[in-house]
A and B are shown apart, each in its own frame.
Chain A
């Protein structure tokens, strides 16, 4: 079974802090994704990566950056956290960008105070 592990389940940070969210997958998937989930808005794609050191912007990349130095690890960075970035963050991986199911981690609930 594919396992996608997100480093923290709950995180509380202050406005202006730099925040790192880590994600690791164990199935050698080329594609990794970061989403945020907000009530009534579903899952919105922040960034994705289709290979090591490769990244593409999703629908809402503003205020975020990503890093993929190793195939199994995909990090999301909030450069200067703001209260509107309080949300549930979900990492996923898949063997194909669009035509295979994505495997999700359990999410990080991030609160920015």
Chain B
């Protein structure tokens, strides 16, 4: 039972354009969402998070949007850079829960 789904295994974008990575979830109790970035041969690193009381959170080139009614969140990267090429994991958790659930990841390729 995949509670957090990233339906696109990969995404290719031209340098300078916008990258949009999508994530859907099924558990309406989730109230905290995170994005992690992972380079090959390294562990995931935290990128940005959002609480369910917000619908948008921005940090430099990275913005996460949350649509609770659609149970959907997205990560926007503007402008995309070749160094953004990595696997991006969406993750979710809820108050009172005991673990964070991760999606399967989306591999982003940013072409120079």
The chain B residues found within 8 Å of chain A, CB to CB, are: 6, 9, 32, 34, 36, 41-46, 49, 89, 93-95, 97-100, 102-105
Contacts and interface: CB of A to CB of B under 8 A. Distances in A.
A104 B32 contact: no
A4 B93 CA distance: 22
Sorted nearest first, the 4 A-B pairs with minimum C-beta distance are: A104-B43, A101-B46, A98-B93, A42-B104
A42 B102 contact: yes
Nearest to B30: A98
B46 A97 contact: no
Interface of A: 4, 9, 35, 40-45, 48, 56, 58, 90, 92, 97-99, 101-107
A43 B42 CA distance: 14
Contacts of B6: 42
Contacts, number: 57
Contacts of B46: 101-103
Contacts of A56: 98
B42 A106 contact: yes
A43 B102 contact: yes
A107 B43 contact: yes
**Secondary structure type dominating chain B contacts:** loop
A55 to B, nearest CB: 12
A99 B89 contact: no
Contact of B34 (A40, A101, A107): A101
Nearest to B102: A43
Contacts of A48: 98-99
Given A4-B43, A41-B104, A105-B43, 19 more contacts: A9-B41, A42-B6, A42-B89, A42-B102, A42-B103, A43-B102, A92-B43, A97-B99, A98-B93, A98-B94, A98-B97, A98-B98, A99-B93, A101-B46, A102-B46, A103-B46, A104-B36, A104-B44, A104-B45
A36 B43 CA distance: 11
